[in-house]
A and B are shown apart, each in its own frame.
Chain A
């Protein structure tokens, strides 16, 4: 376990070690809810996506969605958790308007996944955060607060499946915390189980933050930070909390165990309620759902269905493929980008070249990586590979290659077709280049004399003239060599 942090804390804080544990809720992108058949899709009109079960009407019963189970198992396997052969659901009781039954069906004693490790990098440095568990549960509805003494409840979200991912307190800085959450987001998107949108709430994060003197093994009192709905907010909120706690401790005061809501507009946190009056959730096994059994066969099949994960791809890209960490980082950030890149390489392009083209030309033209997986993409991976091959073979100059790419993108044509149709093939045969070179030299006797008198940089003038004469199609290297020979040797 790496607890290094490269983050520099202000001098006064250096005596403290920051201890952070995170609870991340990922809203699963199943079609229907976890325990009932109504739609789990985001964005419906208020209370238009409900049914008697998710409204908690009397006499209703939960029935478990197999896709939610599949998602949780794949997530657990992706982080190396132990998948329990039998797990149980439990009722977690509290009263709140957005919780229709007065309890949430969750998991307590026997969660579906135990342990696991999330690997990621912070500015190139490896990190590993251990997980306590991952469990399944149902989401609550939404409360909307009005100003005149009433609130409104919308149950559309009630019953949407969630995976709760609980980490050990292994995180040691606000920056690491933000990157950890980002890594989870990348992972759930790779697996296709959640779109990881913190602003919309499909991924939510709470952080438990405490300080202790460096060298101390006992944990300090922790506070729970909530309402951090972006990576930046995660980082800012935790940084603020670290400073707040340090100030208290420096003054000899106690940190109160409590939940605090982050207010991004004001840049501060506000205490919600004291954890001393902690909930008694009165957990007990959910009687309406027998224990869930997962066979070895089921788990093996789920494992086989996993895509190559971000960190493994990163290692392959920076290792055998020889890409820079920076380029590798860009390519693995979204599965669709990495898949597109891999496909381009598979179609014959060298990794470094492919990386170049994908990052500089392709990614510049899409605002959502998901476009890369769509059939409507103007330049599929194979087409890109074809273009790259033409440039590498010298048929197209690099500059011309970019022009061709633009035309491929706008006109949806293959490189080969464009080149053939417009005779853009780079002229490389020395015979025809030499002819053009002689012609150009003959047309510029003044420059020839000055070159032979010592102005060697006039070579560029002649190369330019050759390129102009050939409409950019001459192989620059070839033209360069031939001109040099003709100019230096004289005739």
Chain B
């Protein structure tokens, strides 16, 4: 695998990392590794969403098992990413499966917490109104609760993606061909320039993806939810105001 053809210890010329053609081609070139990094990220995030969003929506809608969400979210945040990766490799063996499994485990809690608090925070007066109009439980969930919960679900998506991108970099330690490859290659060959170059590529990837998700959040969230302040002005005289503020507080804390 292309060592980059660079020796010479801590030669601090970071430009050379990006101008070196060997870093741009082949299976350990930046484009290839970025593509694989993104592939791993999308795979884990999609599987995580498919598992966690229905469960979070169910718990939020019915209120059954809400204690699970609180305990789960906090306990799982404590799980060391590196530990999970190593454990799954030792139990399953090398390959894409153990890495994806570890990434999925890390992607689930933010989705679960976001979907649950989003659905759970929907104003009961709004749900009563939907029920009063004759909507069934399923359409209340899909046409009222989930759209209103969308800001928090997307906040969960952002947290999950961030976490998975970071952990996928670490996964290079156990031999996964992610962008973390350069960091460990540089470490093993005592070449700080390669480490730094790899770190910069990962940082750029994380920032670009985060920026895109913020954009998606702006596009997808229903215009009626866009400005809570505006909404509060409309409902000021009614008794709904406190829980409107709840939604705002919850959104603020989980997107941070």
> Do A and B actually bind?
no
Residues of chain B at the chain A interface (Cβ within 8 Å):
none
Q: Which residues of A contact B (CB under 8 A)?
A: none
